[in-house]
Amino acid sequence: MEPEDPKKKEPRHDPELEEADEDELTSQKLQDGLHKLDELYPAFTPSPSWFDQQIVETKNSQRSRLWGDLLKLWLAALLLLFVLYMTVTAQPVVFVTFQALAVVAPLAWLLIRKQEEQHHE
């Protein structure tokens, strides 16, 4: 087979094709550069004992964080129960008012919102 005469080859003027070619070339350069970076800076994986230690430490700190959060939750719940108990025994009227408000307030808020939405429509 005879080699192609480069002079005979017609130049490509399709800008989209040219851009695609250039993108491919840039992508190739990027890949080569990043391969080179891998060669220059190889990864040094820590020893298995380092990973073991990290696992033990992380799990311990996770456990203590969980207990801390649970403790806070229990304390908050106890405090709330205490306040409710005190209100029921000392001032039942205040307690009933709060209970009624807890039911009425969200309903009122929902109704107002609905009315506002209708007004905007």
Partner 1 sequence: MFSHLEEHELIHKATCGDNAALTLLLQQHYAFVYKYLLKITLNPHMAEDIAQETMVKCIEKIKLYNGKSKLSSWLITIATNLFIDLGRRKKREKLWQKQEQDQSLRRMQWRAGQQNEEWPEVLNALAELPEDTRIPVILKHYYGYTYEEIGSMLTLAEGTVKSRVHHALKQLRKELA
User: Shortest Cβ distance from residue 6 to partner 1 (Å)?
Assistant: 24
Whether residue 84 contacts residue 91, with contact meaning beta carbons closer than 8 Å, is answered with no
- Where residue 58 falls (left for φ over 0; alpha for ψ -120 to 50; beta otherwise) is alpha
Compute the least distance from the CB of residue 53 to partner 1, in Å. Answer: 10
Q: Closest CB to partner 1 among 34 and 103?
A: 34
Give CA–CA dist 55/66, Å, rounded. 16
Residue 40 contacts partner 1 per CB under 8 A: yes
Among candidate residues 96, 73, 74, 72, the one with its CA nearest the CA of residue 84 = 96
Of the candidates 18, 21, 26, 94, which one interacts with partner 1 according to CB under 8 A? 26
For partner 1, how many residues bind (rule: CB under 8 A)? 28
Q: Which of 21, 22, 69, 116 binds partner 1 (CB under 8 A)?
A: 22
CA atoms within 13 A on the CB side of 50: 4
Binding flag, residue 59, partner 1 (CB under 8 A): yes
Contact present, 95 and 88 (Cβ < 8 Å)? yes
* Chain residues in the site for partner 1 (CB under 8 A): 22-23, 26-27, 29-34, 36-41, 43, 45-46, 48, 51-52, 54-56, 58-59, 62
